[in-house]
Amino acid sequence: MDDMTTTLTERGQTSVPAAIRKQAGLAPGQALRWEFVSEHELRVVIPEDAKTPPNAVAMIGFARRVNPGLPPTTAAMLELLRAGETDV
């Protein structure tokens, strides 16, 4: 096998060769869409809306939507925790 050939695992998983990941700018968590081209050929498409996988900064907005009562910053959270220490 060459470095562009991969093997399907028993669980139906495969790896994207490093050279392809690097050239396409793929990252862990990246969405990929599989399309049949013919009976023996598939195409992998990188959806336009999925070019940048979610990161820690994106999760801040998600956490605020799910629980709007969370302190907005780490400093505010630490201040809240430290205020509880003086009440003991």
For residue 20, give the nearest of 30, 9, 8, 35 by alpha carbon.
Answer: 30
Q: Render 6-48 in DSSP notation, one character per residue.
A: ----TTS-----HHHHHHHT--TT---EEEEEETTEEEEE--G
The model's pTM is 0.50
For the 1-50 domain, the top CATH level (class) is mainly beta
Domain ranges, ordered by start, for the chain: 1-50, 56-86
- For residue range 5-38, what is the model confidence (pLDDT) as tens digits? 899 999 999 999 999 999 988 888 888 999 999 9
Q: Which residue has the higher pLDDT, 60 or 3?
A: 3
Give the pLDDT of residue 31: 87
> Could you read off the pLDDT of 35-73 as tens digits, one per residue?
999 999 999 998 887 555 566 666 666 666 777 776 567
Measured between alpha carbons, how far is 70 from 63 in angstroms, rounded to an integer?
Answer: 8
